[in-house]
């Protein structure tokens, strides 16, 4: 995959609109496309939600150990993360991570929350399969508020 390659027609780029916690153990986020459609994702750890919140606030000085290891492996192998794609597989949200550099590579079927955290850390596009995006209901968001990070 080339950095300037046109995105897949089945996917749409999204941004993190809201990030919060359902409870002390579970994160939730709302991803929004430029067309206003949303994708809600839950069932990821509060720890990952905290990492994403820090990355969104440009706090990248001391990355968590696993992300530091990931960064070192990419640097030593001349690879750059260029995008992540979120999709559903067997009722679970998964992600493919796309790299370019000395060689092009795709890591397939990883946890979507980790992929989103890495995409936020490296400030690369997050793409969601279009069939997962839903129209936004303004009345629903007024009734079900969530802390915004």
What is the SS3 assignment for 108-134? EEEEHHHHHHHHHHHCCCEEEEHHHCE
CA distance 121 to 116: 8
Strand-pair partners of 115 = none
Q: Tell whether the model's pLDDT for residue 123 goes beyond 60.
A: yes
- For range 89-116, the mean pLDDT: 95
- For range 100-118, the mean pLDDT: 94
From first CA to last CA, the distance across the chain in angstroms is 32
pLDDT tier, 43 (very low <50, low <70, confident <90, very high otherwise)? confident
Q: Tell whether the model's pLDDT for residue 45 goes beyond 70.
A: yes
**pLDDT recorded at residue 8:** 82
Eight-class DSSP state of 62: S
**pLDDT recorded at residue 145:** 42
Percent of the chain having pLDDT more than 90?
75
Structural domains present in the chain: 11-143 (3.10.690.10)
SS3 content of the chain, % helix, strand, coil (to 5): 30, 40, 30
Higher pLDDT, 68 or 30: 30
Return the structure tokens found at 8.
């897949």
């Amino acid at each position: 995959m080339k950095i300037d390659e046109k995105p897949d027609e089945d996917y749409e780029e999204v941004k993190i609109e809201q990030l919060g916690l359902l409870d002390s153990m579970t994160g939730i986020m709302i991803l929004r496309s430029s067309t206003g459609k949303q994708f809600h994702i839950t069932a990821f750890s509060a720890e990952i939600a905290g990492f994403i919140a820090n990355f969104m606030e440009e706090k990248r000085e001391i990355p968590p150990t696993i992300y530091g290891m990931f960064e070192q492996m990419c640097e030593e192998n001349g690879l750059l993360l260029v995008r992540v794609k979120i999709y559903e597989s067997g009722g679970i949200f998964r992600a493919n991570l796309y790299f370019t550099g000395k060689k092009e590579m795709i890591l397939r079927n990883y946890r979507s929350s980790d992929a989103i955290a890495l995409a936020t850390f490296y400030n690369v596009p997050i793409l969601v399969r279009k069939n997962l995006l839903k129209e936004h209901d303004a009345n629903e968001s007024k009734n079900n508020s969530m802390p915004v990070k």
